[in-house]
Structure 1
Amino acid sequence: MAANEEKQKRPLADDPIVSLAEVLEENELLENEACAVLGGSDSDKCSYSEGYVKRQALYACNTCTPKGGQPAGICLACSYKCHEGHELFELYTKRNFRCDCGNSKFSDLQCKFFSEKEKTNCANKYNDNFFGLYCTCKRPYPDPEDETPDEMIQCVVCEDWFHGRHLGAVLPDNVEYQEMACQSCMKRCSFLWTYATHWSVNKATDADNSGPLAKMEDDNVDVCTVQENGDSQNQKPKGRALKTEATGSKPSEPSTSCKAETSEAANGDEASCSVEEDAAKNAGCKLQQLKKKGSIQRECATYWPRNWRNRLCTCPSCMNLYKELEISFLLDEFDTVLAYENKGKSDEETDSERCDPLMTALSNMNRIQQVELIYEYNDLKSELKDYLKRFADEGKVVTSEDIQQFFEELQSKKRRRVDGMQYFCS
C-alpha cells in the first residue's frame, strides 16, 4: 500500500513536467492574445449600427449557415448572445465588414440586438473561411488529417489564411516581418513586385532561396523581367531618345506659322517632347522611380517589414491604381492588424485601470485603512510566493487542501497581529 502511494506521488517518466511559472507564462500569453484580438471589439453590443467597421473580430456559424448555403459573418457580441451553443468558426479579424446576424442569410434566427436588419450587406466580402476552409488546400484548421506542424499566416490583401508551406516562399528566418501578401494577390496586384524587389523581407532571394531578385550597383542595374512563360531575360535600360515608330504614332505635320523643318527634325522634336512629358509625369512617382532600378516577379508570396505601407506612392496615377484594384486600404495606417491589436490592448488597460477593484477600494478608504490594505496585499503576495516555492522545491503537487491550509494560517497570523496592534501612542 505504501509502495503504491509512493508510486502515485512520483511522476511517470513519460509525463511532461510543467512548472507553475510555465503555466502562468502560457496563461499570460493566451490572455494577451485574446486581449489583442477581442479587445478592439465590443462584446456587449452588436456592431451592426456602426455600419462597415474598419476592422473587427468576426465569426461564422456553421449551425446557421453551413457549407452549401450563403456565407455570413457575425460580430463578437452576436457570437455570445445570439449563437450561444452553436458551432462557430473563428475568423480572427476582417476589414470593412458589417454584421450579418439575423439577416436574410439566416432562415430562422433573429438577431437579439437588432430585430430588423437589411436583407444583405452588399459591401461585405466573403471567402471559404466563412465555411471553415483555409489556404489553397481548402482544408479546415486545425486539420485532424494533417499531422505536419505548420504555421498559418493571413494575407494582408485577401485576408485568407495560408499554411506556410503552401505560400511558395520560405518563411524568413530571424527576421521580423509584419505582413504577408499571398501568391494570388501578388499576381493580381503585380505592381507590388516593384516594391517587393527592393523592400520586402524576402527581397534578396527567390522562392527557393536560389538567387538574387535584382542586381543593383548605384542606380545602374540590369532590369530583370519575367515573361509569360516564366523565363526571365536581362535588358539594359534604354536611352532617353525615343523613336516615333516605337509608339506607332505618325510624325506631326510642321506648322504653317513656323519655319519649314525636315521630317527628321520634326520627329526628333516630338520624341524629345514626349520624353520630357513622361519624365515630368514620373518625377513624383515612387513606383516609376523604383522600376528604373529594377523589378522582378516570382510565383510566390512576399513578406513585408513594419511600416512598408508608408513607403507606397501616393501620386494621382497610383491612387487611381489602388482604387481600381480595390486596395486603397493599404494606405490606411489603422487598417493593419497590429494597429487593431494595439488599440485593443490600450482599451483593455484603460478599462482595467478604471475597474480595478483594489484602486476602487482604496479610493473609498481613509488613510489608516489604505495603509492597512496595502500592507495586507503585500503580505499576501509575499506569503503565497514563499508557500508555493516550498512545493516547487520539493516537487510536490499543490492541492486544494494545501491552499485552504495556507489561507487558514494567513488568517491566524492576521488575528494575532491585529490583537497586538496599537492605534495610539503610548
Structure 2
Amino acid sequence: MAANDGEEDATVSLVDVLEEDEELENEASAVLGGSDSEKCSYPEGYVKRQALYACNTCTPKGGEPAGICLACSYKCHEGHDLFELYTKRNFRCDCGNDKFGEMECKLFADKENVNTGNKYSHNFFGLYCTCDRPYPDPEDEVPDEMIQCIVCEDWFHGRHLGCVVPDCVELQEMICQSCMNKTPFLWNYAAHIEVPSITKVSPCKGEEDVKVEVENDEEEKIKNENPKSPADVKEETEGSSEEGSCSGCRLREMKASGRSQTLQGAVFWPSAWRTKLCTCADCKILYADAGVSFLMDEMDTVLAYENKGKSTEQAEQAGGAEGRDPLMSALNNLNRVQQLEIIHEYNDMKTELKDYLQRFAAEGKVVTPEDIRHFFEQQQSRKRRRANAGQYYCTCCLLHE
C-alpha cells in the first residue's frame, strides 16, 4: 500500500514501518539475548552471559563499581542515570547489596553482601578504551566505531587498537594488545590464524597517529622460516590435536613451526577460530591458569548470545502469528482515504519518536518503559485535542475493532 504521487516523499508505507519496527525489535532482542525483564537474575548465580547496566545515580564514580541485570534496571532503577554495558560474562546482579547502601532490590531482597566472583572495570563508571573516555564522547569529534575485546570485555576506539581494523569486523572477534600480552601463547595462534592487516597503528590519549610497517606476506615468512609448504603446515596443525593427550599438541607444533608474529596491536580473529585451539590436557591447564577457559566454549561468543535472543524472538513471533491477522485484516477493509490517514499517523509518530529518543542517545541514557509510556501519553493527549477538528484513525483503535 502506497500513498499517491504527491504524498510519496512526505509519507512512508505501512509495510516500510512494520519492516523497520521488526528490524529494531530483532536488534533489541539480540542485545537482550533472552534476558528476563521481570525477574532479577541473581538466583541464577553467575550468569554465563547477560545484558548488564551500571547505575550512575546509585553507584557514581568514586564509589564501588556495581552491575545490575535487565529486570533491576527497569524495576529498581527507573528514572536513574544508567550506563548500558551491553553484555558481560559470569556476572551476578549486584542490585541492593552493600554497594548500594540502604537501597534494597525490589525483586530479590535476600542477597549476599558482595558478589566476590564479579569482575569490574572502568566501564561500570561509563568510561571506555585506553583513553578512559565516555561513549558517546561530546568532546570527541572523530567518527570512530567502538569494538569490544572478548577477554577483558572493555570497548575500544578503532584508532586506539594499535592496528588497522579489518573489513567485516562484525563477523570476527578481537583481543586487545594488553590481553594478548597477558596470554602470550595466543601470539602463536595469531601467527597462523589472525586476520591479516597491512599496518599497525598506535595512537592513544591524544597522540598523533603513528604507523609502523610490519611483514604481512605470510606465505613468504613460512617459506623462509619453515621448509614445509603452507599446505603442509596447515594439515599438520589442524589435524594433530587429540583431546586429553599432549602427544599431538597443536600449540606445541605451532611453536615448532618457527612461524612468528609481531607482538604489537590488537588481534582480530576469523570466524570459528576457537575451534582451532588445542584442547589437550596441558593446554586446558594453560587456559585455566590464564583465566581464559571460556575460549574453548563456542557458546561463549557474543554471536551465540545474540543468536539466542533472535531465536527466542522468532519463536515468540511464530507462536503469536495469529495476533497480527486482526491488524492486517482491518487495514485491508479500510478505504483509500482512511489508509492515507493511517500512513500520516505512522509517519508523524515515527518522526516524533525518533526526536524523543535522540535526547536519550545524546545523554547516553537507557530508555525505560516509563519513558515510552510517557511518550505515548503525550501522543494520546495531542490526538484528543485534535479530535474536534475531524475524525482520525490509529492502529490502536483498529486492533480492538
Query: What TM-score, normalized by structure 2, do the two folds share?
Result: 0.70
* Residue 213 of structure 2: aligned partner: 210
The CA deviation at 1:197 is: 1.6
Indicate how the Cα distance of structure 1 residues 69 and 220 shifts in structure 2: closer, same or farther if over 3 A, else same: same
Between stretches 121-130 and 286-295, larger displacement belongs to: 286-295
The separation in 1 between residues aligned to 2:38 and 2:343, in whole angstroms, is 43
Q: Quick one: structure 1 residues 375 and 205, their matched pair in 2 at CA, closer, same or farther if it must change by over 3 Å? A: closer
Q: Which residue of 2 aligns with 1:322?
A: 287
Quote how far apart the aligned CAs of 1:374 are: 9.5
Write the distance in 2 (CA, Å) between the matches of 1:217 and 1:105.
Answer: 56
Moved over 6 A (4+): 21-25, 388-391, 397-402
Give 1:364-403 correspondences, 5 Å limit. 376-377=329-330, 379-380=332-333, 387=340
> What letter corresponds to residue 261 of structure 2 in structure 1?
I
Match of 2:126 among 132, 154, 159: 132
Instruction: Name which of 26, 29, 32 aligns with 1:35.
Output: 29
Q: Could you tell me whether the CA contact under 8 Å between 1:170 and 1:209 is conserved in 2?
A: no
What letter is aligned with 2:263?
Answer: R
Q: CA deviation at 1:172?
A: 0.7
How many Å apart are 1:198 and its aligned residue?
1.8
**Within-5 A mapping of 1:181-196:** 181-196=175-190
Structure 1 residue 220, shift from structure 2 partner: 5.0
Contact kept in structure 1, 2:34 and 2:312, CA below 8 Å:
yes
CA contact (8 A) 1:179 1:304 kept: yes
Distance in 2 (CA, whole Å) between partners of 1:61 and 1:390 is: 39
Distance in structure 1 (CA, Å) of the matches to 2:330 and 2:193? 52
CA contact (8 A) 1:156 1:180 kept: yes
Give the alignment partner of residue 64 of structure 2, picking from 62, 67, 70.
70
Aligned ranges 1:4-153 → 2 under 5 Å: 20=12, 27-153=21-147
Give CA deviations for 1:177-208 in whole Å, capped at 9, x if unaligned: 42111111111111111111221212666555
Deviation at 1:349, TM superposition (A): 1.8
Sort the Cα spacing of 1:294 and 1:18 in 2 relative to 1 into closer, same or farther, 3 A. Answer: farther
Higher normalized contact order (CA 8 Å, seq sep 6+, divided by chain length) = 2
Q: CA RMSD in A?
A: 3.6
Shift of 1:222: 1.8
Q: Deviations over 1:87-139 (max 9, x none)?
A: 11000000000000001111021001111210111110000000110000000
TM superposition shift of 1:354? 2.8
1:346 aligns with 2:346: no
* CA displacement, residues 275-322 of structure 1 (integer Å, 9 cap, x when unaligned): xxxxxx865111122221502132200111111111111011111110
- Residue in structure 2 matched with residue 274 of structure 1 by the alignment: none
Q: Distance in 1 between matches of 2:121 and 2:198?
A: 32
Asked whether the equivalents of residues 214 and 294 of structure 1 are also in contact (C-alpha less than 8 Å), the reply is: no
Q: Assess, with a 3 A threshold, how the Cα gap between structure 1 residues 374 and 325 changes in structure 2: closer, same or farther.
A: closer
Tell me if the contact between 2:251 and 2:278 (Cα under 8 Å) persists in the aligned partners: yes
Query: How many angstroms does 1:346 deviate by?
Result: 0.8
Give how far 1:352 is off: 2.8
**Structure 1 pair 123/386, CA: closer, same or farther in 2 (3 Å)?**
same
In the TM superposition, residue 407 of structure 1 has moved relative to its aligned partner by 4.9
CA gap 1:374/1:286 in 2 versus in 1, 3 angstroms:
same
SS of residue in 2 equivalent to 1:60: strand
The answer to whether the 8 Å contact 2:122/2:128 transfers is yes
1:48 and 1:217 mapped to 2: Cα distance? Answer: 53
Amino acid at match of 1:59: Y
Shift of 1:353: 2.9
Does 2:291 match 1:297?
no
Larger displacement relative to structure 2 (282-291 or 294-303): 282-291
Q: CA deviation digits over 1:233-255, x for unaligned, max 9?
A: xxx99xxxxxxxxxxxxxxxxxx
Shift of 1:405: 6.1
- Cross-structure match for 2:207: none
Sequence identity percentage: 56
Q: Residue 295 of structure 1: SS of its match in structure 2?
A: coil
Task: Check 1:390–1:180 CA distance in 2 against 1; reply closer, same or farther (3 A cut).
Answer: closer
| 1:73 partner letter | G
CA distance in 2, matches of 1:313, 1:332: 12
Mark the CA change 1:196 to 1:385 in structure 2 (over 3 Å): closer, same or farther.
farther
**CA separation in 2, counterparts of 1:92 and 1:337?**
10
Q: Which runs of 5+ in 1 are unaligned?
A: 1-9, 11-16, 224-235, 238-280, 363-372, 392-396, 412-426
State how far apart, in whole Å, the 2-side matches of 1:382 and 1:168 are: 60
Deviation of the 1:334 alpha carbon: 1.1
Q: Higher mean Cα deviation, 213-222 or 107-116? A: 213-222
3-state SS of the aligned residue for 2:285? helix
CA contact (8 A) 2:198 2:213 kept: no
- Which of these two proteins has the greater Rg computed from alpha carbons? 1
**Counterparts of 1:191 and 1:385, CA distance in 2:** 67
Give the residue type in structure 1 aligned to 2:142.
T
Deviation of the 1:221 alpha carbon: 4.0
Q: Is the 8 A contact 1:103 1:110 kept in 2?
A: yes
Match of 2:364 in 1: none
SS at match of 1:376: helix
Query: Which 10-residue stretch deviates more, 162-171 or 174-183?
Result: 174-183
CA distance in 2 between counterparts of 1:375 and 1:49 reads: 42
5+ residue gaps, structure 2, are 1-5, 202-210, 229-244, 345-349, 352-381
Distance (Å, rounded) in 2 between the aligned partners of 1:29 and 1:170: 30
Task: Please state if 1:307 is matched with 2:310.
Answer: no
Q: Which amino acid aligns with 1:379?
A: N
| Paired position in structure 2 for 1:164 | 158
User: How many angstroms apart in 2 are the aligned matches of 1:100 and 1:342?
Assistant: 26
